[in-house]
């Protein structure tokens, strides 16, 4: 009697063992996480792609410190490719709606430009400023104070990411000065989502921090904007 009762138990154990050893069907492999390709980069030159709100959430939040700041610590405008046109002129040439004529020493004549900050067109390059989207003082407050002079120079003349520098009306740029989105946004409301998204992209590119007021303003503004992905090549 004891033997006859043991046989079913042994059979069940063998079946269970066989099931454990059987290969897992291909369709049972769990899908990769949605943001697997968006892992945080590890070194300059790495690329990160994230929805803008996720990118905002990834930025370090801390108080700012302007101790020791001077605009002169960000060398600009340079002529990196030695073609006679400095960074300011390169941005004006790249963003012209109608191309200007380029004269001696890269003097620009004619041409038309659109200033998205205030939704205006201009036909004279002298009426435009080239704005650092994240101002130099703001960059200093947010981490650039610890950079080398060369790193600050590269930041101040960044032509590799079109979001870093933008040609806008002199009036709007001077109204903005060194303010962050907690105290200044473009007067043209139709551009604000782009401005906030590009701000997050620029801070992500340079791994700059944000302060609590800045974080709150960005989160509030982006809540009513498309949560579009940003792709950034890490600069440092």
Return the structure tokens found at 108: 């620009």
Alpha carbons within 13 angstroms on the beta-carbon side of residue 111 total: 22
Return the structure tokens found at 211: 């302060």
> Residue 151, Cβ neighbours under 10 Å: how many?
15
At residue 236, the pLDDT reads: 86
Tens of pLDDT along the chain (236 residues) come to 333 333 333 334 434 434 434 444 443 333 333 343 444 557 999 999 999 999 999 999 999 999 999 999 999 999 999 999 999 999 999 999 999 999 999 999 999 999 999 999 999 999 999 999 999 999 999 999 999 999 999 999 999 999 999 999 999 999 999 999 999 999 999 999 999 999 999 999 999 999 999 999 999 999 999 999 999 999 98
At residue 36, the pLDDT reads: 35
For residues 173 and 117, is the Cβ–Cβ distance under 8 A? Answer: yes
Tell me the three state secondary structure of residue 173: helix
At residue 40, the pLDDT reads: 53
At residue 3, the pLDDT reads: 33
DSSP state of 20: H
Where exactly are the structural domains of the chain? 39-233
- Concatenating the DSSP letter of every residue in 130-170 gives EEESS-HHHHHHTTGGGS-HHHHHHHHT--SSTTTEEEEEH
Q: Please state the φ and ψ torsions of residue 64, each to the nearest 5 degrees.
A: -90, 160
Q: Please state the φ and ψ torsions of residue 44, each to the nearest 5 degrees.
A: -55, 140
At residue 27, the pLDDT reads: 39
């Amino acid at each position: 009697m004891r033997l006859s009762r043991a046989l079913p138990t042994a059979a069940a154990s063998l079946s269970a063992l066989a099931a454990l050893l059987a290969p897992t069907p291909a369709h049972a492999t769990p899908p990769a996480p949605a943001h697997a390709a968006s892992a945080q980069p590890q070194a300059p030159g790495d690329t990160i792609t994230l929805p803008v709100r996720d990118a905002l959430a990834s930025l370090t939040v801390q108080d700012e410190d302007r101790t020791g700041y001077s605009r002169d610590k960000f060398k600009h405008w340079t002529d990196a490719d030695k073609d006679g046109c400095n960074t300011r002129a390169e941005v004006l040439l790249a963003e012209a709606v109608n191309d200007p004529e380029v004269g001696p020493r890269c003097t620009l004549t004619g041409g038309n430009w659109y200033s998205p900050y205030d939704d205006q067109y201009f036909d004279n390059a002298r009426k435009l400023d080239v704005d650092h989207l994240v101002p130099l003082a703001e960059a200093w407050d947010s981490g650039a104070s610890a950079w080398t002079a060369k790193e600050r120079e590269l930041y101040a003349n960044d032509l590799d990411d079109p979001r870093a520098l933008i040609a806008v009306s002199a009036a709007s740029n001077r109204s903005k000065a060194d303010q962050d989105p907690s105290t200044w946004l473009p007067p043209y409301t139709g551009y604000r989502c782009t401005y906030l998204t590009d701000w997050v992209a620029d801070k992500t590119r340079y791994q700059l921090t944000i302060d609590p007021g800045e974080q709150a303003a960005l989160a509030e503004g982006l809540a009513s904007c498309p949560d579009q992905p940003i792709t950034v090549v890490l600069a440092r």
